[in-house]
């Protein structure tokens, strides 16, 4: 789906402050993403499954190859117009957010890989990490109805 949001120039933000180009989509203010270990062992796959078995939780790999769990939730200071209600006093993580890689201004998805359910994880494993998928089957952590 193509976004109607502004796209930043490829050379960054010469002479512009991020607030001048930050769209009021507030995508970055509507979830919390926490770094997790990559799915490279049966134990880690099992942990990721546990996360994905919970409603509205997703897992993704960033373009920097880091892995995250995503909790959909809205910042309590997000104004109805999509702007920050505490902009001058916002946390450092908000101040340091890279506007060039922003979900609202980039035409590239924020994630390289995303799993919204366990089936998607198993399909990916069966195609890209066959030996690990087989070990998950052997250890009995793949429910019958989710097998690929």
| Three-state SS letters, the chain | CCCCCCCCCCCCCCCCCHHHHCCCCCHHHCEEEEEECCCCCHHHHHHHHHHHCCCCCEEEEECCCCEEEEEECCCCCECCCCCECCHHHCCHHHHCCCHHHCCCCCCCCCEEEEECCHHHHHHHHHHHCHHHHHHHHHCCCCCHHHCC
CA contacts within 13 A on the Cβ side of 54: 11
> 31 pLDDT exceeds 50?
yes
pLDDT over 70 percentage in the chain:
82
Q: What pLDDT does 69 receive?
A: 98
Higher pLDDT, residue 62 or 2: 62
Residue 138 CA to residue 136 CA, distance in Å, equals 5
> 21 pLDDT exceeds 70?
no
pLDDT over 90 percentage in the chain:
58
Compute the average pLDDT of residues 120-126: 98
Compute the average pLDDT of residues 6-13: 49
Higher pLDDT, residue 91 or 16: 91
Q: What pLDDT does 100 receive?
A: 67
* Weakest-pLDDT range from 38-47, 77-86, 104-113: 104-113
Residue-wise pLDDT tens digits, 50-101: 999 999 999 999 989 999 999 999 999 998 888 888 888 889 888 887 766 6
Q: What pLDDT does 30 receive?
A: 95
Residue 15 CA to residue 19 CA, distance in Å, equals 12
Compute the average pLDDT of residues 9-38: 74
């Amino acid at each position: 789906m193509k976004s109607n949001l502004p796209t930043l120039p490829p050379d960054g933000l010469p002479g512009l402050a991020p607030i001048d180009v930050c769209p009021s989509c507030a995508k970055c203010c509507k979830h919390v993403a926490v770094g997790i270990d990559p799915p490279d062992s049966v134990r880690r796959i099992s942990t990721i499954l546990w996360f994905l078995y919970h409603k509205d939780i997703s897992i993704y790999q960033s373009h920097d190859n880091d892995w995250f769990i995503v909790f959909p939730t809205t910042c309590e200071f997000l104004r109805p117009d999509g702007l920050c209600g505490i902009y001058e006093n916002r946390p450092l993580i908000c101040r340091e957010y890279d506007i060039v890689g922003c979900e609202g201004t980039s035409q590239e998805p924020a994630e390289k890989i995303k799993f919204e359910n366990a089936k998607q994880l198993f399909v990916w494993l069966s195609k890209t990490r066959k030996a690990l998928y087989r070990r998950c089957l052997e250890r009995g952590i793949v429910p019958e109805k989710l097998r690929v």
